[in-house]
Amino acid sequence: MPTIPALLMLADQSPPRVRYCARMKREYYKGYSRELHREMEMLVFGHGGNAVLVFPTSMGRFFQFEDRGMIGVLADKIERGELQVFCADSVDSESWYNKGVHPRVRVLRHLQYERYVLHELLPFMKSKNQEGQISVCGCSFGGYHAVNFALKHPDVVGHCVSLSGAFDIHQFLDGYYDDDCYFNCPPDYLANMSDEWFLSRYRAMNIVLASGEWDMCLDQNVRLGRVMQAKGIPHWLDVWGDQTGHDWPWWQRMAGKYFG
């Protein structure tokens, strides 16, 4: 069994912010990350099944998915042992959204976060759940994290669900752009992808790009869907009608459709 990384060696049962059926296992973890040089927190819901890594929205926290009713939508599946949901913390305020530092520093902080997920968080998930490939999910900018991580590491991700994702990071760079920025902007690097190692794994991945007809990120989802179509990458671009926009009530409905 993999060694549990130091960042998650400290565990505690924090009070649930929302009450669920007593059968649902809920665990809180906090500890020091070697990659990020700071403490990180997370919540884990469930005891087995498909392992789902959830990224929060812009500058969101690990408790957001629970607070916003998403865990409640998935509660039945979690309680039955069909899903185990790992809610990660973010460092967006120290990376893409940190306007107080040079864009180069922003992207370097993001790369540290990626290494945290890959080298510390995923081994911890594996220690809790022996399923093979994981699922990743996120809403809004969390959708960016889910899609970007899945495309960069298709050997560990088998299922990617983006709800109203925003994928173009140029807006965070003040005109700056280097190779690290390029390789973290999915519409850019995917359009030029020719490596069959990646493409073959993308084609085996279950990819959902969900958005709404009134969603401010609809254009970004349509654009990324066109790039995937041009590359022969199977995906589900699911555009919701009924005036669906960019907010939690719609994302709750979407979660019920793709995971519920």
Structure tokens at 67: 């607070």
Residue 143 CB neighbours (<10 A): 31
Asked whether the CA dihedral 187, 188, 191, 195 is positive or negative, the reply is negative
pTM for the full model? 0.92
Strand-strand pairing, 134-139 and 83-87: unpaired
Q: Which domains does the chain have, with CATH numbers?
A: 24-258 (3.40.50.1820)
Q: Are strands 157-163 and 236-240 parallel, antiparallel or unpaired?
A: unpaired
Burial class (CB in 10 A: 0-12, 13-18, 19+), 242: exposed
Q: DSSP code of 170?
A: G
DSSP H stretches of helix in the chain: 64-67, 70-79, 103-116, 122-128, 141-152, 179-182, 186-191, 196-204, 218-230, 248-258
Instruction: Map residue 37 onto helix, strand or coil.
Output: coil
Name which of 255, 43, 66 is nearest 163 in CA terms: 255
Reduced to 3 DSSP states, what percent helix, strand and coil does the chain have, rounded to the nearest 5? Answer: 40, 20, 40
Cβ atoms within 10 Å of 216's Cβ, excluding its own: 13
pLDDT in tens, the chain (260 residues): 333 444 444 444 555 555 555 579 999 999 999 999 999 999 999 999 999 999 999 999 999 999 999 999 999 999 999 999 999 999 999 999 999 999 999 999 999 999 999 999 999 999 999 887 899 999 999 999 999 999 999 999 999 999 999 999 999 999 999 999 999 999 999 999 999 999 999 999 999 999 999 999 999 999 999 999 999 999 999 999 989 999 999 999 999 999 86
